[in-house]
């Protein structure tokens, strides 16, 4: 058990959550539902967007640098990498660079999909980087070796979500996902794993395109549960029933002015901002 001083130290500090853009906002919402007494800072790495087209080495360096900047700017009690691609490429390197600091990654929900499939066929919708990453190979071999796994790189949907989804009509959203979903259901998949956080913004559209009998799964609840467990183990949870010590914030990398969709999403998710992430690295703090 952590000493009482650790709990006091962590009580007023935020939880940081970041992604390449807006994809991790549903993970923020899930964390809030699980831990309503905490304050949060959500960082959208607008300057690094998109992650799915970068090499593993490039992305590893981006993740390690961004974790350092976020720690320097906000001194969070914990950090969630709400991105499958970034977690696969940079989670372990970020942990090595920040010993003792809790960093929670995101893993595609392949295991629950494999356990629940009735047809014996599941699908994984992901970025180009995630689909071809050795981590996914190992995850499938470990958790889904008894089922057929169809992988689809739905990279164009990432840009659609980031730039268009806030303004798109239901017809546009349905048209955007149809070409990726239809081949999966035609092949017999009855579980579709959303292995890119951006796709959660189109979850209802993907489910509608897939039709009845197909379950769409993601990792939100698992990540929120892991975050809660880690904070509890370290004595850093806010007191039950506590009011968050500060309003949660929406922060972007890169220079303004920012595109209007970010202000719309800040309001939709109850965040102050958007504001710009300070360029100062952690080492520059006094």
pLDDT at 27: 98
231 and 102 together in one domain? yes
Q: What is the mean pLDDT of the chain?
A: 92
Do 62 and 26 share a structural domain? yes
Task: Say how far residue 258 (Cα) sits from the centre of its chain.
Answer: 21
Residues in the chain: 286
44 — phi, psi (to 5°)? -100, 115
- Confidence at 5, pLDDT banded by 50, 70, 90: very low
**Of 181, 200, 218, which residue sits at a domain end?**
218
CATH number of 158's domain? 3.40.50.1860
* Residue 247: how many other CB atoms lie within 10 Å: 11
Q: How far is CA 13 from CA 6, 8, 10, 67, 140, in A?
A: 11, 10, 5, 16, 37
Does 237 score more than 70 pLDDT?
Answer: yes
Domain count within the chain = 2
pLDDT of residue 20: 96
Percent of the chain with pLDDT over 70: 93
Report the pLDDT value the prediction gives residue 190, as an integer from 0 to 100: 98
Question: What's the pLDDT score for residue 138?
Answer: 95
Q: How far apart are CA 83 and CA 43, in angstroms?
A: 12
Residue-level pLDDT at 285: 39
Active site positions, annotated: 83, 196
Q: 90 and 189, same structural domain?
A: no
- Exposed, middle or buried by CB within 10 Å (0-12, 13-18, 19+), for 255? exposed
User: Looking at the structure, do residues 225 and 214 belong to the same domain, yes or no?
Assistant: no
Report the pLDDT averaged over residues 39-60.
Answer: 96
Same domain, 237 and 98: yes
Query: Among 218, 252, 274, which residue terminates a domain?
Result: 218
Cα–Cα distance, 218 to 106 (Å, whole number)? 10
Asked whether the beta carbons of 188 and 119 are under 8 A apart, the reply is: yes
Q: What are the beta bridge partners of residue 216?
A: 192
Q: Look at residues 192, 218, 244 and tell me which one is the last residue of a structural domain.
A: 218
What pLDDT does 172 receive?
A: 97
pTM of the model: 0.91
Confidence tier at 12 by pLDDT (50, 70, 90): confident
Do 169 and 120 belong to one domain?
yes
Q: Residue 176: is its pLDDT beyond 70?
A: yes
Q: Domain of 196?
A: 110-218
Whether residues 9 and 82 share a domain: the answer is: yes
Q: Quick one: 163 and 228 in the same domain?
A: no
61 and 126 both lie in a single domain: no
pLDDT of residue 8: 44
Mark whether 230 and 258 lie in a shared domain.
yes
105 pLDDT above the threshold of 50:
yes
Regarding whether 207 and 125 lie in a shared domain, the answer is yes
* pLDDT tens-place string over residues 61-82: 999 999 999 999 999 999 999 9
pLDDT tens string 246-274: 889 999 999 889 999 999 999 999 999 99
At residue 6, does pLDDT exceed 70?
no
Give the model's pLDDT for residue 284.
Answer: 37
Question: Which two tokens mark 10?
Answer: 């962590």
């Amino acid at each position: 058990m952590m000493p009482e001083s650790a709990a006091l130290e962590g009580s007023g500090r935020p939880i940081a959550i970041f992604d390449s853009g807006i994809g991790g906002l549903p993970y923020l919402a899930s964390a809030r539902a699980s831990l309503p007494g905490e304050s949060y800072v959500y960082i959208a790495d607008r300057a690094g967007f998109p992650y799915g087209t970068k090499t593993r080495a490039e992305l590893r360096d981006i993740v390690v640098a961004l974790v350092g900047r976020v720690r320097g700017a906000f001194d969070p009690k914990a950090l969630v990498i709400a991105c499958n691609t970034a977690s696969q490429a940079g989670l372990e390197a970020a942990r090595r660079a920040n010993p003792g600091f809790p960093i929670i990654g995101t893993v595609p929900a392949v295991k629950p999909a494999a356990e629940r499939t009735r047809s014996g066929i599941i699908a994984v919708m992901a970025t180009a980087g995630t689909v071809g990453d050795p981590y996914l190979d190992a995850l499938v071999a470990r958790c889904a070796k008894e089922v057929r796994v169809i992988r689809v790189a739905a990279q164009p949907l990432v840009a659609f979500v980031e730039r268009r989804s806030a303004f798109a009509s239901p017809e546009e959203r349905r048209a955007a996902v149809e070409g990726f979903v239809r081949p999966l259901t035609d092949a017999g998949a009855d579980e579709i794993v959303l292995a890119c956080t951006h796709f959660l913004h189109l979850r209802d559209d993907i489910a509608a395109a897939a039709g009845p009998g197909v379950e769409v799964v993601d990792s939100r609840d698992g990540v929120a549960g892991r975050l809660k467990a880690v904070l509890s183990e370290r004595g850093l949870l806010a007191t039950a029933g506590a009011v968050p010590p500060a309003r949660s914030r929406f922060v972007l990398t890169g220079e303004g002015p920012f595109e209007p969709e970010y202000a719309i999403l800040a309001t939709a998710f109850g965040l102050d901002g958007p504001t710009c992430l300070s360029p100062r690295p952690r080492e520059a703090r006094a």
